[in-house]
Structure 1
């Protein structure tokens, strides 16, 4: 599955790969996907796994959560990082200490990975 940021600014549009593994009959969720390659983002672990409460069995996962809700949650998280749930130290520290530098770094990454 390809993921794009919701941000409509042309210089921030990019597409990222997120392979999904879904267990349709399972009542548990075992992290449905990882970004490949991993993203520089406060809420994406260096492995590429997304840190989002609805993907975590101990926090917010419920069997009634739909694929659409998961995908919208991930897409919103890409545009609006959650500083209360850091997963990647470098991205988190830059985001917290200097949001302008963080946005510049994101713009450079997006420039190197343009939308097709």
Structure 2
């Protein structure tokens, strides 16, 4: 494994354990041997207070490569997650996760997760990734909001487990 990626992720983990936003979860997966897999993190993103996403915790996987932090992690919700900027595969479409756009090696795990939380409530209709959600938000906002509420119930914070 790349020394730089592991060093950076070890530091990210230390900082996260010391101070992270309330309600957020981010931890490396555990290998079969019982050691942390620093290249794969399981996360939970709470819906922001005062939004239609509030009350849910949305599961996300962050997959880092040995080129991190030069290259951003891949961030994925479960397949079929309903949102205009989430591909049907679950991959998040966000400029700070694109090395050809706004990715910078100084962006932290905390900043990524906060950015994704913000994206949930404020979709970027100029960069659609999912045809169904994009069509709904642009042509039938009532239907869009109804589907978001169904998803919020599906990911109710009381049921959340990693």
* 2:72 equivalent to 1:29: yes
User: What is the total number of aligned residue pairs between the two structures?
Assistant: 115
State the superposition RMSD in angstroms: 2.0
In the alignment, which residue of structure 2 is the partner of 1:87? 129
Does residue 55 in structure 1 map to residue 71 in structure 2? no
Q: Say if 1:4 and 1:16, in contact at 8 Å, map to a contact too.
A: yes
Q: Which residue of 2 aligns with 1:112?
A: 154
Q: Are the counterparts in 2 of residues 44 and 88 from structure 1 also a CA contact under 8 Å? A: yes
Would the alpha carbon gap of residues 68 and 113 (structure 1) be closer, same or farther in structure 2, given more than 3 Å must change? Answer: closer
* 2:120 paired residue number: 78
Structure 2, unaligned runs of 5 or more: 1-42
Structure of larger gyration radius: 2
Higher-RCO chain (CA-CA 8 Å, sequence separation at least 6): 1
Structure 1 regions of 5+ residues with no counterpart? none
Alpha-carbon shift at residue 50 of structure 1 (Å): 0.3
Instruction: Give the whole-Å Cα distance in 2 for the aligned partners of 1:18 and 1:45.
Output: 13
How many Å separate the matches in 2 of 1:19 and 1:82? Answer: 21
Task: Write out per-residue CA displacement over residues 19-63 of structure 1, whole angstroms, 9 at most, x where no aligned residue.
Answer: 1223476311242x2112441000000000000000001111111
Q: 1:11–1:111: 8 Å Cα contact kept in structure 2?
A: no
TM-score by length of 1: 0.87
TM-score, normalised with respect to structure 2: 0.64
What is the CA distance between 1:111 and its match in structure 2?
2.1
SS at match of 1:47: coil
Tell me if structure 1 keeps the 8 A contact 2:79–2:88.
Answer: no
Matched residues in 2 for 1:103 and 1:96: separation? 11
- Is the alpha carbon distance of 1:7 and 1:79 closer, same or farther for their aligned partners in structure 2, counting shifts above 3 Å? farther
